[in-house]
Chains A and B, each alone.
Chain A
Amino acid sequence: MDEPMNRYIEILIAFHIIVGAVFVFVGSFGLIKLPDLMSRLHGPSKATTLGVGGCLIASMIHFGSLEGRLSIQELLITFFLFITAPVTAHFVAKAYLHTEADPESDLPPPQGRYGWSTFVAFKATVEQDDQPADDENEV
């Protein structure tokens, strides 16, 4: 590969590394700066995932162009992180709502006719369990 082309590729790799590192830093800074957990979730689940994606793109360009071998592991890590980050954020938020938050006072009422689905489903399960087992006696 000729020299100026190499230089452009190096600039591209350095740009992606710097952008990724800045996003990782901003995500973790949001983790210590923001006031409560529901807002702290935004930093790691969005900014940090994007930062790791930037580092992975830089690594793919580096190994694909300068070294001449295409490695598939970066693609797998990217897909796995981008698929699992929303699931993790959802689970953390749900566990936080059920352990710390009060559904009557802390949460705004949702727009539809029903309440917050996670608490409504929980209440329905508890009421179903509390009912006397008449059905079993009839059968």
Chain B
Amino acid sequence: MIDLALAFGFIAVSLALLMNLWRAAVGPTVMDRVLAIDTMVVNTIALIILYGVQESTTIYFESALLLAMFSFISTVAYCRFILRGDVIE
């Protein structure tokens, strides 16, 4: 039963990643692309967690934690760069 749910989860999250990729390619504004990349990282975290459940190992969860931190920092840095023209003033 968990295998079926995991297969469904992999398909749904992969389709979500493809839709994010479409939004990141089409735009139309810069902030749309930033939002799409941020959502892509969150979906990648979901994919990593589902893979960890499938393989019954917690070894990948540190990478998920690092991805969460870097997505937050990079999104804030990008928005700040667009707002102020500089990241650290």
Contacts and interface: CB of A to CB of B under 8 A. Distances in A.
The majority secondary structure among interface residues of chain B is helix
A28 B2 contact: no
A32 B28 CA distance: 11
Interface residues of A, number: 52
Contact of B29 (A11, A13, A99): A99
Interface residues of B, number: 48
Contacts of A56: 49
B72 A88 contact: yes
Contact of A17 (B6, B65, B76): B6
B12 A59 contact: no
15 contacts: A14-B5, A18-B8, A20-B9, A28-B17, A28-B39, A31-B35, A32-B23, A55-B9, A55-B50, A73-B62, A87-B72, A91-B79, A92-B31, A92-B34, A96-B29
Given A11-B1, A67-B56, A73-B61, 10 more contacts: A25-B13, A32-B23, A37-B32, A59-B52, A76-B65, A84-B68, A88-B75, A92-B38, A95-B31, A96-B31
